[in-house]
Amino acid sequence: MNSFAGHAKLTNEEVAAKARYVQIGVEQSTFTKARNAEYERKRAEGLILPVRVNRIVTMDNPLFCPVRYVPAADASRNLPVIANPFNVSQEYMLLLGSMARIAGTDPDLVGPRNLVRMIEHQKYVPKRYWYSEAPQIA
């Protein structure tokens, strides 16, 4: 954006005001519960482009998921448990790199995001499923 702004004689703020940021929302087709209200609002406004999938590979394959999961009493869902350290596998990084190439982004510039947020969200998991040691980002 900086090079475009300089070439077009625009400030970064002017370019940002003209740009429309759209996120991709991966939606599992078997998910039947109501989604987050903010997500639904952004989707309705066209700020999230929904992509329907049969499976979410980062949730269904442990190699592609940095968070550990344990079965819940209700077999239709799992409870996230933050492992120490996170499991950021080589396979996961290759997946991120492949997705970056498809999106036209340098794969060397991608990496896991929101790991701290994952730790913060552990408060919603019953304490009996918590790891005793504080999670560390490796």
> Using one digit for the tens of pLDDT, what is the confidence trace for 48-81?
888 888 887 776 677 777 776 655 566 566 666 5
Residues 70 and 33 in one domain: no
Residues 42 and 77 in one domain: no
Domain boundary among 10, 39, 54: 54
Residues 64 and 30 in one domain: no
Print pLDDT tens along the chain (138 aa).
455 555 667 888 888 788 877 788 888 888 778 888 999 999 999 988 888 888 877 766 777 777 766 555 665 666 665 556 677 888 888 988 888 888 888 989 888 877 777 767 666 666 665 655 444 444
Cα 115 to Cα 135: distance, rounded to the nearest angstrom: 10
Residues 71 and 127 in one domain: yes
Quote the domain boundaries for residue 66. Answer: 55-138
